[in-house]
């Protein structure tokens, strides 16, 4: 009995310990950045000397990060919409239809996920350069949009496919029986029920695009986004402006992740109360 | 849910698949095909000359320098896989079996850390490991003397950042396959007198193998392409394949060589993937036979 108890204790220590250690590990660089953004000194050394918000005001006084912020916003917004729509459509085909070459379609839709990102960027960079020589254009944000869409759509596809998995399609039959057209069924039944999945896929897509460095770096031409702006900034020597900028970009991400979870949980609760009522 | 049989002539199937197929063919398959073709050209005066010969490939296979880097990349990716699997396994197990009430909060914390900007997080690590950084600050307080750890700009630092960026993949794949394990199987194992360790070894671990392998493959492939971590954390002293390829394109402006090296890395990744895919199919089949 005591051996059994010892085993249980040991297992608990290892398991809880690993979760705590992992969380600490994950948050070391994030907390470090937030702490350094509040320093008074202009050197990023520890222990931090005094607390002030002066690097935030320095950041806003310089304003040279604004084009990068604007570029990031445009890029992530367009990518979110395109990836979510493409991913939702493909998820429906993946889960609800059976068709010839389905296996090939599934493999093709997933391969970008298994491609090292910098290689994906390089391969597309070569293609855009050849096209650019031929049709006389140069790469900018739009080519980065295409790169992001290729890479991020599989993520959106998985998340929406999971939502489709629990979908009750007799609801669609009922709507059709009561005289709805296909379009009305889609608008009134299918999309509202799948909405939590589509919504979290959208947030995931936005954040993946927002934080993406590799693809933007290869494909955006001379356009800047926040990650490439920070990369070139660090290469030229670090200043407390970058921790301040980092902290500011973490905040919208935190809000979006919390929001996504709130909607997911509310949808789950509603589903539970619906099933208990019927 | 019913699964509808569809012919390619059906408009619903066309609407659902053709947009994504078009994007993937135009911006993924064709570019990849073109990269393969490009590797058979040569470069003259920083311009690609379309000449169709094997000069570039002979170059790739005759320089041991490239293969030293490839071997180093392979080694780093494999070490990273082992670390991510062993660190991810207890976390995933604890999420499923020990933290039913905290599960969602822990998951959100991990997802947020995963989705935050990779380059900013890597920069955070630099500040942490710096000679006058946070870690050395703490070590000094603990009495180890000034600048006790000098880990930044070594391959170890690069590995820490790689594990940091890729660990969430194994946690989530293992978690997903552990979630699907039938609790009755575990109860049955306890009822027949098996210890916790034995139950874990004979029930939980074999049944979470698909998730383990999927996570391992993801980490391996993504690990082959890392660039930020060795560059920023490793200090660029021992470059990996991605850095080599970037230099070939940007500094040496030798596109055919860059294309060939890209194909070598993707080839190494694809071969490993096929091997693991074969293993995965074999184990799931034998499991299906047992239960």
ipTM of the complex: 0.82
Would the pLDDT of A70 be above 60?
yes
What stretches of B98-201 show up as alpha helix (H) in DSSP?
A: 103-115, 118-129, 134-141, 155-179, 183-191, 196-199
- Residues in CB range of B89: below 8 A, 6 or more apart: B170, B174, B212
Q: What secondary structure does DSSP assign to A80-132, as a single string? A: HHHHHHHHHHHHHHHHHEE-TTHHHHHHHHHGGGGS-HHHHHHHHHHHHHHHH
pLDDT digits (tens, 9 = 90+) for B147-172: 667 778 888 889 999 999 999 989 98
Query: Is A116 in Cβ contact with B224 (below 8 Å)?
Result: yes
pLDDT digits (tens, 9 = 90+) for B97-127: 877 777 778 888 888 888 787 888 888 888 8
Architecture (CATH level 2) of domain A64-277 = Orthogonal Bundle (1.10)
pLDDT score of A271: 67
Q: Worst-scoring range by mean pLDDT, A94-108, A245-259, B39-53, B242-256?
A: B39-53
Q: Is B21 on the interface with A (CB under 8 A)?
A: yes
Q: How confident is the model at residue B289 (pLDDT cuts 50, 70, 90)?
A: very low
Q: Is B29 on the interface with A (CB under 8 A)?
A: yes
Q: How confident is the model at residue A162 (pLDDT cuts 50, 70, 90)?
A: confident
pLDDT score of B290: 45
Q: What's chain B's average pLDDT?
A: 83
Domain membership of residue B283 (yes or no) is yes
Domain membership of residue B68 (yes or no) is yes
Query: Is B23 in Cβ contact with A149 (below 8 Å)?
Result: yes
Q: How many domains does chain B have?
A: 1
pLDDT digits (tens, 9 = 90+) for A41-54: 766 666 666 677 77
H or E stretch including B4? strand B4-5
Please tell me which residue, A270 or A21, carries the higher pLDDT value: A21
Domain membership of residue B47 (yes or no) is no
Closest-CA distance, A213 to chain B, in angstroms, reads: 7
Residue B145 has phi, psi (to 5 degrees) of 85, 165
Q: Is B38 on the interface with A (CB under 8 A)?
A: yes
**Mutation choice for A interface testing from B14, B16, B242 by most A CBs within 10 A:** B16
**Mutation choice for A interface testing from B6, B24, B186 by most A CBs within 10 A:** B24
pLDDT digits (tens, 9 = 90+) for B212-266: 888 888 899 888 888 888 888 887 777 888 888 888 888 877 888 888 998 999 8
The CATH number of residue B104's host domain is: 1.10.3720.10
Sign of CA dihedral B250, B254, B256, B257: negative
Q: How confident is the model at residue B291 (pLDDT cuts 50, 70, 90)?
A: very low
Task: Find the domain containing B150 and state its range.
Answer: 63-290
Query: Is A119 in Cβ contact with B266 (below 8 Å)?
Result: yes
Q: How confident is the model at residue B284 (pLDDT cuts 50, 70, 90)?
A: low
Task: Identify the three-state secondary structure at position A255.
Answer: helix
Q: Is A4 on the interface with B (CB under 8 A)?
A: yes
pLDDT score of A45: 66
Would the pLDDT of A278 be above 50?
no
Residue of B nearest to A144 (CA): B27
Most confident range, picked from A6-10, A69-73, A210-214, B119-123 = A69-73
Taking the complete model, does pTM exceed 0.80, yes or no? yes
Percent of chain A predicted with pLDDT > 90: 14
pLDDT score of B148: 67
Find chain A residues with C-beta within 8 A of B120's C-beta. 29, 33, 211, 227, 230, 242, 246, 249-250
């Amino acid at each position: 009995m005591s051996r059994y108890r010892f085993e249980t204790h040991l297992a608990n220590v290892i398991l809880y310990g690993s979760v705590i250690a992992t969380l600490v590990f994950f948050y070391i660089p994030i907390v470090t950045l937030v702490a350094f953004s509040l320093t008074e000194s202009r050197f990023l050394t520890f222990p931090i000397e005094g607390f002030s918000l002066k690097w935030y005001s320095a950041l806003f006084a310089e304003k040279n990060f604004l084009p990068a912020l604007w570029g990031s916003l445009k890029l992530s917004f367009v990518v979110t919409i395109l990836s979510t729509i493409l991913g939702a459509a493909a998820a429906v085909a993946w889960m609800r239809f059976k068709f010839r070459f389905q296996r090939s379609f599934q493999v093709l839709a997933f391969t970008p996920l298994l491609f090292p990102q910098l290689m994906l960027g390089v391969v597309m960079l070569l293609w855009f350069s050849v096209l650019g020589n031929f049709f006389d254009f140069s790469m900018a944000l739009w080519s980065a949009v295409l790169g992001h869409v290729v890479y991020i759509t599989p993520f959106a596809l998985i998340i929406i496919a999971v939502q489709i998995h629990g979908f009750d399609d007799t609801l669609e039959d009922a709507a059709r029986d009561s005289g709805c057209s296909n379009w009305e069924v889609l608008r009134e039944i299918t999309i509202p029920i799948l909405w939590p999945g589509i919504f979290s896929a959208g947030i995931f897509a936005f954040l993946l695009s927002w934080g993406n460095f590799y693809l933007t770096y290869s494909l955006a031409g001379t356009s800047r986004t926040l990650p490439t702006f920070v990369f070139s900034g660090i290469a030229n020597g670090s200043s407390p402006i970058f921790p301040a900028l980092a902290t500011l970009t973490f905040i919208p991400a935190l809000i979006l992740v919390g929001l996504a979870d709130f909607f997911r949980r509310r949808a789950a609760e509603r589903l539970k109360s619906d099933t208990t009522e019927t | 849910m019913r699964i509808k049989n569809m012919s390619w002539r059906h408009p619903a199937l066309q609407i659902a698949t053709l947009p994504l197929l078009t994007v993937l063919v135009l911006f993924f398959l064709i570019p990849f095909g073109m990269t393969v073709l490009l590797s058979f050209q040569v470069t003259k005066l920083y311009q690609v000359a379309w000449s169709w010969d094997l000069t570039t490939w002979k170059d790739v296979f005759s320089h041991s320098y490239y293969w030293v880097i490839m071997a180093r990349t392979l080694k780093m990716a494999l070490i990273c896989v082992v670390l991510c699997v062993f660190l991810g396994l207890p976390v995933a197990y604890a999420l499923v079996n020990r933290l039913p009430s905290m599960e969602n909060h822990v998951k959100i914390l991990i997802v947020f850390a995963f989705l935050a900007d990779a380059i900013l997080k890597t920069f955070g690590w630099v500040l942490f490991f710096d000679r006058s950084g946070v870690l050395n600050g703490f070590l000094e307080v603990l009495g180890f003397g000034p600048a006790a750890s000098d880990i930044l700009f070594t391959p170890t630092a690069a590995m820490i950042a790689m594990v940091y960026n890729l660990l969430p993949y194994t946690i989530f794949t293992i978690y997903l396959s552990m979630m699907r394990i039938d609790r009755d199987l575990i109860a049955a194992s306890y009822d027949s007198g098996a210890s916790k360790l034995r139950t874990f070894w004979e029930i939980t671990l074999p049944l979470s193998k698909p998730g383990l392998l999927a996570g391992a493959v993801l980490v391996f492939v993504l690990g082959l392409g890392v660039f930020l971590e060795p560059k920023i954390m490793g200090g660029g002293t021992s470059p990996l394949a991605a850095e080599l390829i970037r230099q070939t394109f940007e500094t040496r402006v030798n596109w055919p060589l860059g294309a060939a090296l890209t194909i070598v890395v993707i080839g190494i990744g694809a071969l490993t993937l096929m091997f693991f895919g074969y293993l995965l199919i074999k184990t799931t089949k034998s499991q299906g036979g047992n239960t």
